[in-house]
Amino acid sequence: MSFLRALWYYLWIAPHVLQVIIVVLMIRRRWLQQFPMFFLYTAFEVLQFAILFSISRTHVGFGSGYAHAYSVGLALSTAIRFGVIQELFRHFFRRYPALEGSGRLLVRGATVVLLVLAVGLAFAAPGKGADILLNTTYVLDRTVSVLQCGLLISLFMFSRYFVLSWSSRAFGIAWGLGMFAGVELAAAVIRLHLGGFGNSSVNLITMATYHACVLIWIFYLTVAEREPRGVLKAIPEHDLDIWNRELQHLIQQ
């Protein structure tokens, strides 16, 4: 077995083995209620890997049957990632219940704008490839990658107002998702023009990035979470605690 092939198998298998650790860790520490969608996403990735790996070891190999299973799994995984992003936004707004409605409107507005942009990009460069299913999957993958990158960037832009600590588990989950979504977006663009599964270099870079993301998630899940202190006092004109209390008073009147 060549070095590149051994590296490819390692980058394919290792992250999902580590994700089993994340699943066990979240169950043992009872974080399912705090991040249920992230738990679902992690468990689904492990299940998807088990199915794809099993298919690759049969007579089907990495042929059309594997490609179809990969396309279905990618679509489901992408949909679940949207749920994780929405979960992160809810997590950041939970300290300010009176602002939660405004936060939802902000997220929906950003989603509509990004969706229009993503669909426009998809029609502008539909890509090439003989396999219609794979080609369509990659177009959709690029579209949702634009959406996810935009939503995560907006999340990080407002993180200082949410008083989001760099040591929080939510920040670690968002950081990993953002890094993977950015690389996945670039890879989806390249694949659309190359057709099929793209080239080996693109796949290796994407897989290595995902491996790094899983390591980030494990790090943030194992390190003790610290609450931020005194952040809002430096910028009282943007004090969300004050806005939250005033809105609560208005609602109660």
| Banded model confidence at residue 232, pLDDT cuts 50, 70, 90 | very low
pLDDT (tens digit per residue) in 59-75:
888 888 888 888 888 88
Among the listed residues 140, 147, 144, 79, the one whose alpha carbon sits nearest the alpha carbon of residue 107: 147
AA identity, residue 26: M
Both tokens of residue 193?
Answer: 């023009």
| Banded model confidence at residue 247, pLDDT cuts 50, 70, 90 | low
Q: State the angle between helix axes of 132-157 and 100-124 in degrees (0 to 180), rounded to the nearest 10.
A: 140
Which one is predicted more confidently, 14 or 86?
14
Residue 62's pLDDT is what?
Answer: 81
What the chain holds in terms of domains, given with CATH numbers, is 3-252 (1.20.1070)
pLDDT (tens digit per residue) in 154-205:
767 766 665 555 667 888 898 898 888 888 878 877 766 665 555 778 889 9
List of residues 6+ apart from 216 with CB closer than 8 A? 172, 175, 176, 179
Mean pLDDT value of segment 220-245: 58
Residue carrying the six token digits 């634009």: 146
Residue 42's pLDDT is what?
Answer: 97
* Exposed/middle/buried for residue 185 (C-beta within 10 Å: 0-12, 13-18, 19+): buried
Query: 216-230: b or e for each residue (b if 16 or more CB lie within 10 Å)?
Result: bbbebbeeeeeeeee
Q: Global pTM?
A: 0.77
